[in-house]
Chains A and B, each alone.
Chain A
Amino acid sequence: MHDLTISQGYLLCSLGDKGTISSLRAEVQVGLVASGVMDLLLEGCGTLQQKKFDVAGPLPGRLEPLSSLYEFLQEKPRILEDIASEYNFSFTDRRYNQLLQDLGRSLVTMGLAEERQGGLWGNKTCYLPDPQGRDQVIQSLRAELLEAGELSDEAAALAVLLAKTGQLGQYFSKYERGAIKARIKELKHTSNNKIVQEMVDYITALVVVIAVC
């Protein structure tokens, strides 16, 4: 199995069978950008202080698909809402589409997705997820979340992202979801990783904003 980043894992789990993320599911799209920010934070490429992201280090090779996001954040320190606004609520979706394309192509390179043209007019690039690869991500997540013992930052982050963007239901049973939500709640109070804690708050707040809109 490949060492997937949080954003690659998130995208693999969020792509529908037609290889797209529905534009009607804004929370899932916000989650994709948040997963990229989370990757950058956990790799030490940036810091988060009072919800403001500031670049703090070089971009490692494994995060190459996030280079467009990294370059955008390099311009100046930005608050998380501004990142979402620029990526998810702009008129052109240019930045979001670039991020999606880079992450999608990285999955294609790993053999975890297939690039195709699709959409209503056949001019949209789609990334058909490999079902086996996606199952691997979920099984690995399941093993970490439902077992006793230490939870990795990556598993915690991916679980929070899937939970807050309403995607646990398609992969986990009701019983498992209950256990996972309890684990996330516990994480919020016990985690010594402030980044994960802050991102839980950030994603929750954004999803609430989207729901109100």
Chain B
Amino acid sequence: MSRQRSMETILQSEYVTIGELVRLTGARYSTLKYYTEEGLLPFEQGETNLTRRYRREESVARIALLRRLRQEGETIPALKARFAGR
């Protein structure tokens, strides 16, 4: 185990964990997990113990966009179609 990274450190990191994305965006863990499973939130699989890691800037921007589109009424299937392969 190790100490939790401070927000200051997280904000300077290229990669973050899903837990850190929760802290950065205020989104619910279950939501981010669901977006990840549905391919809406790209991640990279770390080599050690297969931990998923996310590019911080792109992920935060993607979550903000997904949130806005959902508020505008876009459905999950529509979002999946929009972001397919992106």
Residues from chain A with a CB closer than 8 A to the CB of B28 are 135, 139
> Among the listed stretches A14-22, A113-121, A150-158, A199-207, which one makes contact with chain B, having 4 or more residues with CB under 8 Å of it?
A150-158
The answer to the question of B79 belonging to the interface, with a C-beta cut-off of 8 Å to chain A, is no
Of A136, A146, A154, which one neighbours B26 at CB under 8 angstroms?
Answer: A136
Contact B1 A150 (CB under 8 A): yes
A interface, by DSSP: helix, strand, loop or mixed?
helix
The answer to the question of A78 belonging to the interface, with a C-beta cut-off of 8 Å to chain B, is no
The answer to the question of A106 belonging to the interface, with a C-beta cut-off of 8 Å to chain B, is no
For residue A192, which residue of chain B has the nearest CB? B1
Of A3, A136, A149, which one neighbours B17 at CB under 8 angstroms?
Answer: A149
The answer to the question of B12 belonging to the interface, with a C-beta cut-off of 8 Å to chain A, is no
Contact B4 A143 (CB under 8 A): no
Residues from chain B with a CB closer than 8 A to the CB of A143 are 17-19, 21-22, 29, 32-33
Total contacting residues, chain A, CB less than 8 A: 28
Contact B6 A152 (CB under 8 A): no
Residue interface mask A1-19, B partner, CB < 8 A = 1? 1110000000000000000
Which residues of A48-62 have CB atoms within 8 Å of chain B's CB atoms?
A: none
Contact B51 A150 (CB under 8 A): yes
Contact B3 A154 (CB under 8 A): yes
Contact B4 A153 (CB under 8 A): yes
Which residues of B11-55 have CB atoms within 8 Å of chain A's CB atoms?
A: 17-19, 21-24, 26-30, 32-33, 46, 49-52
B10 to chain A, nearest CB (A): 9
Residues from chain A with a CB closer than 8 A to the CB of B29 are 139-140, 142-143, 146
B45 to chain A, nearest CB (A): 10
A147 to B24, CA, bound (A): 17
Given A143-B17, A146-B29, are A152 and B22 also a contact pair (CB < 8 Å)? no
Contact B2 A3 (CB under 8 A): no
A107 to B6, CA, bound (A): 18
Of B1, B33, B46, which one neighbours A153 at CB under 8 angstroms?
Answer: B1
Contact B7 A191 (CB under 8 A): no
B46 to chain A, nearest CB (A): 8
Contact A147 B2 (CB under 8 A): no
Of A132, A136, A156, which one neighbours B22 at CB under 8 angstroms?
Answer: A136
A183 to B3, CA, bound (A): 17
Query: Which positions in A face B, CB cutoff 8 Å?
Result: 1-3, 42, 132, 135-136, 139-140, 142-144, 146-156, 187, 191-193, 196
| Extra inter-chain contacts (18) besides given A142-B29, A193-B1, CB under 8 Å | A1-B24, A3-B6, A3-B7, A132-B26, A139-B27, A142-B30, A143-B21, A143-B29, A143-B32, A148-B51, A149-B17, A149-B50, A149-B51, A150-B51, A152-B2, A152-B4, A154-B4, A191-B1
